[in-house]
Amino acid sequence: MTYLDDAGRRLISEAVTEAESATSGEIVTVLADRSDGYTDVALLWAAGAAFTAMSVFAAIPQPFLDVWDAAFGGWDHEWTTGELASMVIALGLIKFLVVLLVQQWEPLKFALIPGPTKTIRVHNQAVRQFKVGADRRTTGRTGVMIYLSMAEHRAEIVADESIAAIVPAEVWGEAMGDMLALIRKGRFAEGLAVGIRDVGFVLAEHFPRGENDINELPDHLIEV
């Protein structure tokens, strides 16, 4: 899915260029559609629903059996142990498949994912993206990545070792707050640009630009 047009991408690139004009730090921006497929979470919901249905049937089977008898002729039936076991298994399998199928609808799937799980997955993916795209790729190890994951509505700011040793993680809170205030309104490009500006201010304070500083990381938005 495309979230930005060319004008938005250009706004972000210009914001990175401007922010880096006063610092030796390097800012990388990444916009991800999602940070994980969450297949394991969907399977857990399906398995939980199946187990619940099977447990309810095992505890109070008669209402289910009455419905079955009514649907197929209305005659009472003497159920054998094997038939009951088969019905329990069939009920669990049907429930599993139905719950797994309805989770193909993305809004429901992401609504069922616990918030802490989203936060952890987004953080882990941001760190992975940072290691690939910015970690140890600058001379002074002064790279910062702003990572935005759209499906989870989460963002992360990940800094290289030299920056993390000086700048506490709490300092990025203002940049995160300013950025998300606009992003929540659907102004993704403007939000990222504001976050870039705030990160640039922090970097300029601790890592001012040197005379021979060169641009070591791309200024354009990376979309994954």
The tens digit of pLDDT for each residue in 115-173 reads 999 999 999 999 998 888 665 666 667 788 999 999 999 999 988 888 888 888 788 88
Q: What pLDDT was estimated at residue 170?
A: 81
Q: What pLDDT was estimated at residue 84?
A: 74
**Is residue 1 domain-resident?**
no
Total domains, the chain: 2
Residue 92 identity (one-letter amino acid): G
Spacing of C-alpha 129 from chain mean position = 13
Same domain, 24 and 59: no
Q: What pLDDT was estimated at residue 74?
A: 58
**Which of 78, 111, 144 is the last residue before a domain boundary?**
111
For residue 60, pLDDT over 90 is answered with: no
The DSSP symbol for 113 reads: S
Q: Are 33 and 151 in contact (CB under 8 A)?
A: yes
Beta strands in the chain (DSSP E): 26-32, 143-149, 154-159, 222-223
Same domain, 13 and 89: no
Chain mean pLDDT for the chain: 86
Same domain, 85 and 105: yes
Same domain, 30 and 135: yes
**Which of 80, 111, 142 is the last residue before a domain boundary?**
111
Residue 22 sits at φ, ψ, to 5 deg, of: -115, 10
Q: What pLDDT was estimated at residue 50?
A: 94
Q: Using pLDDT thresholds of 50, 70 and 90, give the confidence band for residue 72.
A: low
Q: Provide the CATH number for the domain around residue 189.
A: 3.10.310.50
Measure Cα distances from 166 to 161, 162, 202, 203, 216 in Å: 9, 7, 11, 10, 21
Same domain, 32 and 136: yes
What is the rounded CA–CA span in Å between residue 207 and residue 142?
8
Q: What is the residue-wise DSSP string for 37-100?
A: --HHHHHHHHHHHHHHHHHHHHHS-HHHHHHHHHHTTS------HHHHHHHHHHHHHHHHHHHH
Q: What pLDDT was estimated at residue 46?
A: 95
Same domain, 95 and 158: no
pTM: 0.81
What is the rounded CA–CA span in Å between residue 177 and residue 145?
16
Q: What pLDDT was estimated at residue 219?
A: 78
Residues 6+ apart with CB under 8 A from 90: none
Same domain, 85 and 56: yes
Q: Are 207 and 21 in contact (CB under 8 A)?
A: no
Range of the domain at 121: 6-36+114-223
- Percent of the chain clearing pLDDT 90 (strictly above): 46
**Which of 111, 142, 165 is the last residue before a domain boundary?**
111
Same domain, 89 and 121: no
